Amino acid sequence: MFKPTRRSFLAAGTLMMLARPLRAAPKPVTLIVPYASGGPNDNFARLLAEGMSAQVGRPFIVENKPGANGIIGATQVARAPADGAMLLMGGSGPVSLNILLRPNLQYGFDSFASVAMMFDGPLTITVPSSMGVNSIADLVAYAKKENRALTYGTLGPGSVTDLYGLILSKTLGIPLTPVPYKSTPTSLIDLITGRNDLSYMTPIALADHQKAGEIKILALTTDRRDPALPDVPCVTELGYPQLKASYWTALHAPKGTPADLVRQYAEAAIKTVESERFRQVLAANGQTEKAGGPQALDAQLEADRQYWGKVIKENRIVLD
C-alpha cells in the first residue's frame, strides 16, 4: 500500500505547477510613425509610447515607416487586423490631405477608427529680411510693384505648405508660384538668401533666424499670439480669419477595432499628452496640446474636408 511522504507531496505539487499553462505576457501594441526616426514626430511618438505603456499595462513599440508622404505607414495600419495591436500616429498630411488629393489611394477616411486628437501647430507667413517687407500690407504692395508671381518654398505638391500658398494667393489677390523642396533646411537657405520670396514654415524652424535678423515673420496662422513670439501678430487680429490654418497629429486605429480598446487607448493618450512633461516638449517644438477623444478627431477630419477639400476642389488638384 502506497504511503504519501513529504517528498511525494512536493513532487506532486511540482507536477501540478508544470501542468498549469503559463500566463502569457501582454501582446505589444505597435505605434506606426509615418516619418523617419530622429525628428520631432519620432520624439513625440516615443514619449507617447512610454506614457501609454505605463497606463495601459501593455508594451507600446514605436516603428518608423517613412515614405510617400506618409502613405506607406498609413496603408500598413489601414490593412492591419482590427485587434488593437497596431495604431497610426497620423496627421493632416498622411491622412486628410492624401485622401482628399489622391483618388487612387488604397485607404480612405472610412479605413480608420478615430482614437484621439493630440496636438497641432501653426504655420507662418515669412519673408527674407532683405525684401524690406514688414507687414501683410507691405507684402501686397511689394507684389503689385514687382508685377510678377512671388515664389514660396513647399514640402512638395499637396503638402500643407503647398496648399496654403493657394489660400494666401486668393485671399490677398497676389500671384504666387510654389517651389518644391525635399527638405526644410534647403528651403530655409533659399528663403534667407532671397531666392524665394515667401515661406510658411513653422515658428520653431524660424525663431533663431528671426532673432538673427535674417527673416521676418509677418504673421502666425492662428487666432492668438504665441508667447514665444510676442511681437508677431496672428492672422485673425490682422483681419484675415480665412488665413487661419494648422497641421495636426492624432491617433488612428484600423476600422473595426473594438470600442473598449479604442476608449482605453484614447484615455491613455489624452492623459499622456496632457502631462506636464509632454506639454513642455510640445512647447519646445512649437506645438500646442489639443487632446481629445474620438469625437474630437472626427470633428477635425470633417473640418479638413471642408477647409482643405474646398481648396483642392476649387483648384482642381489631383495627385497620383
pLDDT single digits (tens) 259-270: 999 999 999 999
40 — pLDDT class (breaks 50, 70, 90): confident
pLDDT tops 60 at residue 192:
yes
pLDDT tops 70 at residue 11:
no
Query: Which span out of 23-27, 133-137, 155-159, 226-230 was modeled with the highest average pLDDT?
Result: 133-137
The superfamily in CATH containing domain 29-121+247-314 is Bordetella uptake gene, domain 1 (3.40.190.150)
pLDDT tops 80 at residue 8:
no
Mean pLDDT within 58-63: 96
- Considering only residues 10 and 99, tell me which one the structure prediction assigns the higher pLDDT: 99
Q: What is the pLDDT of residue 128?
A: 98
99 — pLDDT class (breaks 50, 70, 90): very high
pLDDT tops 60 at residue 234:
yes
Q: What is the pLDDT of residue 156?
A: 85
38 — pLDDT class (breaks 50, 70, 90): confident
Q: Same fold for the domain at 29-121+247-314 and the one at 124-243?
A: yes
pLDDT tens-digit series, residues 17-37 = 554 555 566 789 999 999 888
Q: What is the pLDDT of residue 6?
A: 53
| pTM of the full structure | 0.84
Percent of the chain residues topping a pLDDT of 70: 92
Which of 21-30, 33-42, 71-80, 130-139 is the least confident region?
21-30
> What secondary structure does DSSP assign to the chain, as a single string?
-----HHHHHHHHHHHHHHSPPPPPPPPEEEEESS-TTSHHHHHHHHHHHHHHHHHTS-EEEEE---GGGHHHHHHHHHS-SSSSEEEEEEIIIIIIHHHH-TT-S--GGGEEEEEEEEEEE-EEEEEGGG---SHHHHHHHHHHHTSPEEEEESSTTSHHHHHHHHHHHHHT--EEEEE-S-HHHHHHHHHTTSSSBB---HHHHHHHHHTTSEEEEEESSSS--TTSTTSPBTTTTT-GGG--EEEEEEEEETT--HHHHHHHHHHHHHHHTSHHHHHHHHHTT-EEEEE-HHHHHHHHHHHHHHHHHHHHHTT----
282 — pLDDT class (breaks 50, 70, 90): very high
pLDDT tops 90 at residue 2:
no
Domain residue spans in the chain?
29-121+247-314, 124-243
Q: Which CATH number fits domain 124-243: 3.20.20.80, 3.30.1490.20, 3.40.190.10, 3.40.50.620?
A: 3.40.190.10
Q: What is the pLDDT of residue 13?
A: 52
Q: What is the pLDDT of residue 85?
A: 97
Q: What is the pLDDT of residue 44?
A: 94
